[in-house]
Structure formats: C-alpha cells, structure tokens
Chain A
C-alpha cells in the first residue's frame, strides 16, 4: 500500500490547463496485481489523448531506470524521458500486492477522449505494454477493470 499526493507542478495538470477550466481534482489510482508467480513488477501509468498521442506520466513503480525499456509502450511514447518523472516514482510492486497512488488531474482530462494506460513488466516474464487502457470518464470512476496478464483490478476514484 502506497500513498502519494501530488499537489502542484505536475506536468500533466499544467500542460492541459484551459483558461476557465483550470480546476483539478484529486484522483486515487488503485492497482491490484494477480499472483503471477514472479518477482516484483514494474508499472508505468500514463495518459494519451484521443489520437493516441502521449500526454504525460502519472506514476512509475520500479527504482531502476535501466529496466524501463521493458515498459515498452510508455518508454516508446515518453521517449525514455527519465528526467520528466522526477518525484513520481516508487518501489516495484510484488505479486498480489496493491499500488495506491493519489494524483491531481485537471478536470479537462475527463470525458474528453483521454485514456489512461498501464504498462507492466516483471523479470524474466513477458512485457505487457498497455496492460490496461481505460478512458477517463466521470462515469467510469470507481468501476474496476481487469488487465490482460498481471493486473487483477484497476480502479480510479474521484
């Protein structure tokens, strides 16, 4: 269990600030992993826009940047921008464990075609880019989604 609140200065929030809509709300991202029978997993949580273009990173779990290339979707999209994730990284997540991260997201990101992606990778196991892809909508909040290989449930709560 891990809590992290990002209050200000988050690249994503500022990048998408629209005059008059510059309101942000706290969002809790809860990711529970399956017992996939491997060492601790690396995760990247990031957002793309309606056209699939990368917009920003919310969280990276896993301490060693040399393994980030295994988070291949994110690595490709963010072009390995390690400097840009300063302050939003944490430990890897063990099998069966839950990662809980709190972030502030701009209101403008919701119901506007933006998608939240999670890439997962674990040692000696198959990389799983876009393990979860979920549209950011007000209605989708609190509804658990399952991943392809590693993620039991993912929920974002407003």
Chain B
C-alpha cells in the first residue's frame, strides 16, 4: 500500500507490459495444453483413422476415401441422418414455440410468478436419461390407457413400439425437458423490453398479437437466434433420451447419428468407418449452424 511510487515513464511502462505478458501466458498455457491433448489431438487422430480400416484394435491399412464412399451407400447411416434431422428440426421448432409461449405467459402480471418460473425450470435440473426412463414407462403403460378410453386406435398401444410414431414420443419427451432452459433465456430477453413501448402501443390501440409481432418479437430476436442455434446444435447430438426411450428401435427406426457412431465404433468394430461418419457429421453440423446463424441474423437486421 504505502510503497513509494517510483518515477513513471515510458521505460517503466515497457518493462511492465513485458512482465504482464509472461504472467498472462502462464494463465493460459496449461489450459491450452490440456485442451490440445484432450480435444484437438483426438479430433486429429480421429480424422486420420477415418482413412483407414481400423477396427478399434489390431492392425490397420489405409483405405483412402473408401469409408466416405461407403457411408453414402449405407442404408443404416442414411436412415440415421434422416431420423436425426427430422427429430432435431421438429424438436427445435416445438421447443422454441412452446418456450416462447410459456415465457410470454410467465412475463405477464400473474400471481406466484417466481414459483411458477421455478416449476417450469425443474426439468432442466433432471438427468435426460432418467427422465427418459420415467416417460418410457408412462408412454408404454399409461398413454395407451388414455388412447383406449378415447377409442383412438393409434394411441391404444405404446407409441414407442410403433415404427411410425416412436420418433414423436422422443420429440415429446425432449420438448418436455428442453423447454425449461429456453424459457429462462426468453424470459431474460423479455425483461430487456422497455415497458413504455407497450404503454404507447396500447394507447394506439394495438392488439396483443400486433404488439407481439411489432414490439416483442423484434426486441428479443437476438434471444430467438441464440435459442434456435443452441437447440438445434444440442438436439442434433441426441443420445441419452433415445437410449432410455427406444434404444434406437423399433428395429433401427429411431437410431440417431450419435448412437450409430457409439454402437458401430465401440461394439461393431467399425472404428475407422465411424470416424469417417463423425467427420461428415461434423461438417454437416458446422454448415447447418453457420447457415442458421446467417439467416437468423439477417432476419434480426430486417427487424431493427
């Protein structure tokens, strides 16, 4: 504290900025090394093995692009991409529409606001896998009872064992859980909208729907972008809930890409092949995320 101040000048500043540098480097280099070892190196070795016929053990040979060519002729792989896109896009829409709706309700002048907000966040505190097991039981045993009572044939047996409907069950459970987090982000966004805007709008006689399209949505469009990108990226990796609900079945009708990589890579002796699958999938995810960011941000610009 009471240390005498030395003469300040350019030379002292220069000296300081050099020592600054060294401490700052010490702060990042250990983390960077760990990141390289545990993230970058695996990614690179994975890409390397995607050009081999490595089974995960034993000897291997280079096979060039054969793995990549085979991917596009493999029905199981193509089906898993089809299912994953269908599931991820549908869930992203359901989650965002549902979450925005609930957030708007929670942001209104309601009683017990904090308590309700707390309730809607509960699913996010629970394990996706365990939630999947609970709903597996509900969808297999209780939902058919409702279907029978209503006389709906398609709902009278478990939708999880129906190859055409199982994916909807997964979408439903995913939505139940993922809406929780999106609601909170939308609520954070809604709180940034100044109340005066609504006062002015209601004086002008704008309907609630008009207020939503003209004020609320444009004001929270950045939060909409974040939620859409995060949801799609997360849902494209779906694994836990599918393990718990259908195990990829019936047959392989609900196998996600992550699941095919896991099964083929760890149990099927397809290490090299599944790494080629992973590389293709990485490219797909990056392209999709960037496209999504660009279109949504252009929309944002249109609004403002």
* A, B from the same assembly: no
A interface with B by C-beta (< 8 Å): none
